[in-house]
Amino acid sequence: MELSTIIFLLLCILGFGLGAFFDKVSLKHMDPSGAFYVRTLFMILIFTPLVLWKHAQTKQALLGSDKLGPIFVLSSVLVSMGGVFFYLKALSGGEATRIVPLSSTYPAVTFVLALLFLGESFTVNKFIGTMLLTGGIYFISK
């Protein structure tokens, strides 16, 4: 793996970890539905200027893709935001040290879908790694 990939991965982990921490703290001050809608509002306020600033790139991405590209991006947004909504609901009713790890078992879902629909190769190492990751998360949250 390239160094830049490792750095981006570490920043991703840090961002998700800090995000989950701030999610739990925010739920001490507002209900999960409110947190979801305030999060969405902040995303709109923050990212609208960015999209406008990068209008040419955004337009090129839309016009340069086939018809399915934007549909799959929209699908990703809808299911991801649905996941965030239900994650906040779960987090408001449980301990962060349990809910956050359990919500992080989604790689098992991606593993199965990638095998079935993306034609990715099955290897014993990928399977064992995914099961160990998912199982480890389960045991951490017990």
Is residue 43 assigned to a domain? yes
The reported pLDDT for the residue numbered 1 is 75
The pLDDT of residue 125 is 95
Alpha helix positions (H), 27-141: 32-53, 55-64, 68-93, 96-103, 107-117, 124-140
The reply to whether 52 and 120 lie within a common domain is no
Domain count, the chain: 2
Residue 41 Cα distances to 21, 35, 68, 87, 92, angstroms: 20, 10, 27, 18, 20
pLDDT value of position 17: 87
Average pLDDT of span 15-27:
91
Same domain, 82 and 33: yes
Q: What is the pLDDT of residue 139?
A: 86
pLDDT digits (tens, 9 = 90+) for 30-58: 999 999 999 999 999 999 999 999 999 98
Q: Within a domain: residue 100?
A: no
| 105-137: pLDDT as tens digits | 888 899 999 999 999 999 999 999 999 988 888
Domain with 83, as residue range(s), is 3-94
Task: Report pLDDT for 138.
Answer: 81
Question: What is the distance between the alpha carbons of residues 2 and 121, in angstroms, rounded to a whole number?
Answer: 22
18 and 80 together in one domain: yes
**How confident is the model at residue 90, as a pLDDT?**
94
Instruction: Tell me, yes or no, whether 48 lies in a domain.
Output: yes
Q: Answer yes or no: do 110 and 134 share one domain.
A: yes
Q: Are residues 76 and 110 in the same domain?
A: no
For 67-108, write each residue's pLDDT tens digit: 898 899 889 999 999 999 999 999 999 999 889 888 888 888
pTM of the model: 0.81
